[in-house]
């Protein structure tokens, strides 16, 4: 096989030769280095490589070039080699452009010029990018087809599961001609129907069956680990990354999809290091890949149902009867949105009534009147995203304004979008429809009124996933896990807490060796950054616990 290519492009001949020289000096034995002096020339070289069937591992582009700058080149190059790693060379004055490129072209790294000595500033970056390219699965994605009823709750759940796990698929209404052919070939199956690229037919599959069919890991590779992380939201992913990077054999168990509630966010704009914002899906996907790079096992559709101490081991049980033991456990199960208690809504869940952002449904709202219930950041982010498609977005809040619960930057954005209307002092008192949502009854200071509505997205507070911890760790009256000082202040530590006697670590629960991080922890700050910080801190405290054991 021919060597994979490293392509470098810079309009300054001197810089271009220097980059190519440094690359050849270190990588010539394993890669072929190709040099270009303009964006169009580099694209032409890539097209020739594609025609010859050669692979390209790395693209190194200077930002300031005439005709086509580095970001524009990388954006075009992605169509030819989507798996090539992308590095931008930039001057200090252009770092803002480089940061924007992280979102525009999913930039892998940017390097400030000059990079001398290359052994310190250049080669470590290139080494990491080439290692990432070699480890990546570069097979072309194969697309599934999903056939279902438009307003089927289970069809929505299947599409949401695939979307949140970054699995591409084609959605076909059961009335479409192509869908009719698939249904006939499958022998009149129960819907939703999932057909994989190799022709495997799944009739009304469970999440576990779906995960196995698309290649997601659903079972652990061992029975004992250093660390088990329960939950794959920002806190769980943060714990997994830090656990794996610090040498702990780590497994993360997630019930649905990586990212948790944050993974459904269309745009997080106050997360450190992303000045132009980042979608929850992007952030979750990068964290997941980062955890895998450090050797963390990621288990999907794993529902944890129990936790107990067996000597020094901490053992979790799963819904399928399996057990996983570890030296320590981090609980990062997060929270779910509370159900809206109003007549007629329960049976319409997934059929026009959605809890959370329901990203797979957003494009379907085109030219519709959409209702968003809630006044916190998640509701505001969803409203801004929905406004791109909907004719009008109505935000319904019980309070007299958004200032009490929503970040200032979001309030300003919403005020500037003409097709978003905020209704204060307004609650939903009923919903109705034949098979899907058709009408809502609203109540405000002027009384009740009924409005036509096919779409409602609900964000009205949250409840923790902790019912399975009854009698195992101490929780507060709302079900949030108590840790550290909260346990000692309330006098909730068992008499035989630990030997030798010591106070619990800051994030440690009433069961030694079990820690809580993120939204599930009592009195935590409900923000993505603080959840990630909790995950990192929990791993540091796990190390301290293991040293004392």
What is the per-residue pLDDT for 312? 92
CATH number at residue 384: 3.50.50.60
Buried b (16+ CB within 10 A) or exposed e, 139-162: eeeeebbbbbbebbbebbbbbbbb
C-beta atoms surrounding 291 within 10 Å? 27
Q: Is the domain of 455 the same as that of 510?
A: no
Residue with tokens 């009304």: 204
In a domain, 219, yes or no: no
Strand pairing partners for 455? 370
124 and 169 housed in the same domain = no
Q: Which of 117, 135, 153 is the last residue of a domain?
A: 135
Q: Which residues of 473-496 are buried (b: 16+ CB within 10 A; e: fewer)?
A: bbbeeebbbbbbebbeeeeebeee
Specify whether 454 is located in the same domain as 471.
Answer: no
Residues 104 and 251 in one domain: no
Query: Between β-strands 313-318 and 323-331, what pairing exists: parallel, antiparallel or unpaired?
Result: antiparallel
Cα 210 to Cα 67, 170, 299, distances in angstroms: 47, 15, 13
**Distance (Å, whole) CA 60 – CA 113:** 13
The per-residue pLDDT for 358 is: 83
Domain of residue 209, residue span: 144-213
Helix, strand or coil for residue 218?
coil
Three-class SS string for 289-310? HHHHHCCCEEEECCCEEEEEEE
Please say which residue of 460, 480, 512 terminates a domain: 460
CA distances, 503 to each of 199, 308, 474, 497, 510 (Å): 58, 20, 15, 9, 10
Write the DSSP symbol of residue 363.
Answer: G
Q: Is residue 423 part of a domain?
A: yes
pLDDT tens column, 63-79 = 888 888 888 898 889 88
pLDDT tens per residue, range 81-124? 988 999 988 876 666 666 666 666 678 888 887 778 889 889 99
Q: Is residue 158 part of a domain?
A: yes
- Residues constituting the chain: 549
Return the pLDDT at 2: 80
Question: In 32-185, which residue ranges form alpha helices assigned H by DSSP?
Answer: 39-52, 70-80, 95-104, 118-121, 123-135, 153-164, 177-185
DSSP 346: G
Shared domain check, 425 and 505: no
Whether 338 and 460 have beta carbons less than 8 Å apart is answered as yes
Asked whether residue 353 falls in the same domain as residue 448, the answer is yes
Residue 293 lies in a domain: yes
Q: Which two tokens stand for residue 383?
A: 């409203």
pTM assigned to the model: 0.77
The CATH number of whichever domain residue 80 belongs to comes to 3.40.50.2300
Within a domain: residue 218? no
- Residues 332, 469: one domain? yes
Write b or e for each residue in 118-127: b if 16 or more Cβ atoms lie within 10 A of its Cβ, otherwise e.
beeebbebbe
Alpha carbon distances (Å) from 171 to 156, 376, 382, 468: 10, 31, 22, 35
Which residues of the chain register pLDDT less than 70? 1, 92-105, 137-142, 276, 499-500
Neighbours of 285 (CB within 10 A): 17
Based on the fold, state whether residues 24 and 58 are members of the same structural domain: yes
Domains contained in the chain, number: 4
Q: What is the dihedral of CA 139, 141, 145, 150, to 10 degrees?
A: 160
* pLDDT score for 397: 97
Query: What DSSP element (H or E) covers 226?
Result: strand 224-230
Residues 9 and 130 in one domain: yes
Last residue of a domain, one of 431, 460, 489: 460
Instruction: Give residues with Cβ within 8 angstroms of 157, minimum separation 6.
Output: 207, 350
* Claim to verify: residue 192 and residue 92 sit in the same structural domain: no
Residue 341 falls within a domain, yes or no?
no
- For position 20, what pLDDT does the model report? 93
Same domain, 332 and 471: yes
**Coil, helix or strand at residue 341:** coil
State both tokens at 359. 């990203």
Sign, CA dihedral 145-151-154-159, equals: positive
């Amino acid at each position: 096989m021919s060597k994979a290519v490293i392509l470098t492009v810079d309009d300054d001949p001197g810089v271009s030769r220097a980059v190519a020289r440094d690359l050849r000096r270190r990588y010539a034995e394993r890669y072929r280095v190709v040099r270009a002096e303009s964006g169009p020339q580099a694209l032409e070289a890539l097209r020739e490589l594609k025609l010859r069937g050669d692979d390209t591992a790395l693209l190194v582009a200077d930002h300031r070039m005439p005709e086509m700058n580095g970001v524009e080149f990388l954006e075009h190059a992605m169509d030819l080699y989507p798996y090539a790693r992308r590095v931008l060379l930039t001057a200090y004055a252009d770092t803002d452009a480089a940061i924007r490129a992280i979102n525009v072209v999913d930039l892998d790294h940017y390097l400030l010029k000059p990079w001398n000595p290359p052994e310190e500033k250049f080669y470590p970056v290139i080494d990491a990018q080439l290692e990432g390219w070699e480890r990546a699965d570069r097979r072309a994605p194969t697309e599934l087809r999903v056939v279902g009823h438009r307003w089927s709750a289970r069809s929505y759940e299947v599409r949401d599961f695939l979307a949140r796990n970054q699995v591409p698929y084609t959605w076909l209404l059961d009335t479409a001609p192509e869908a009719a052919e698939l249904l006939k070939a499958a022998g009149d199956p129960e819907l939703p129907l999932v057909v994989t690229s190799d022709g495997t037919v799944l009739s009304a599959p469970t999440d576990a069956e779906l995960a196995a069919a698309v290649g997601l890991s659903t079972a652990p590779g061992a029975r004992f680990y250093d660390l088990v992380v329960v939950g794959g939201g920002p806190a769980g992913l943060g714990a997994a990354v830090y656990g794996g990077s610090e040498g702990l054999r780590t497994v993360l168990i997630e019930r649905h999809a990586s990212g948790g509630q944050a993974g459904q966010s269309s745009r997080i704009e106050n997360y450190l290091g992303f000045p132009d914002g980042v979608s929850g899906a992007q952030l979750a996907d990068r964290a997941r890949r980062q955890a895998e790079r450090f050797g963390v096992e990621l288990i999907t559709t794993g529902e944890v149902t129990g936790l107990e101490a067996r000597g020094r081991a901490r053992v979790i049980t799963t819904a399928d009867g399996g057990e996983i033991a570890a030296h320590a456990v981090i609980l990062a199960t997060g929270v779910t949105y509370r159900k809206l208690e109003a007549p007629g809504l329960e049976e319409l869940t997934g059929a026009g009534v959605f809890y959370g952002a329901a990203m797979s449904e957003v494009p379907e709202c085109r030219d519709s009147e959409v209702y968003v219930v809630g006044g916190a950041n998640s509701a505001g982010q969803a409203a801004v995203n929905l406004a791109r498609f909907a004719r009008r977005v109505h935000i319904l809040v019980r309070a007299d304004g958004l200032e009490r619960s929503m970040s200032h930057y979001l309030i300003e954005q919403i005020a500037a979008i003409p097709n978003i209307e905020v209704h204060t002092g307004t609650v939903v008192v009923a919903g109705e429809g034949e098979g899907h949502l058709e009408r809502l009854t609203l109540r405000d200071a002027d009384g009740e009124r009924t409005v036509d509505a096919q779409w409602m997205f609900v964000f009205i507070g949250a409840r923790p996933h902790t019912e399975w911890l009854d009698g195992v760790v101490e929780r507060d009256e709302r079900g949030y896990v108590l840790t550290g000082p909260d346990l000692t202040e309330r006098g909730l530590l068992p008499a035989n807490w630990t030997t030798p006697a010591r106070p619990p670590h800051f994030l440690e629960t009433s069961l030694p060796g079990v820690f809580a991080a993120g939204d599930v922890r009592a009195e935590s700050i409900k923000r993505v950054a603080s959840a990630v910080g909790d995950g990192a801190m929990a791993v540091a405290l796990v190390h301290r616990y293991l040293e004392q054991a």
